[in-house]
């Protein structure tokens, strides 16, 4: 899955967040702090960009539905 991150490592990091969040039945709003934490790491600053957040939302919706 491509989440709009600038690197494959970034997409994989976001995928791990989505997997964790859906596994714990977290809501999208509960997942946002995880994306903000990732965005504070060097090389992952775009984790809170609109495109990334929208992709996460859509992915979580598909995994929960």
Domain ranges of the chain: 8-64
Per-residue confidence band for 64, with pLDDT thresholds at 50, 70 and 90: low
Report the mean per-residue pLDDT for the chain: 94
31-57 residue pLDDT tens: 999 999 999 999 999 999 999 999 999
Q: Is the pTM of this model over 0.85?
A: yes
Under 8 Å between Cβ of 9 and 41: no
């Amino acid at each position: 899955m491509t989440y709009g991150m600038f690197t494959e490592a970034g997409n994989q990091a976001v995928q791990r967040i989505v997997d964790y969040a859906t596994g714990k039945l977290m809501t999208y709003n509960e997942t946002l702090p995880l994306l903000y934490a990732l965005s504070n790491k060097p090389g992952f600053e775009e984790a809170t960009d609109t495109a990334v957040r929208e992709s996460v939302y859509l992915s979580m919706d598909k995994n929960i539905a």
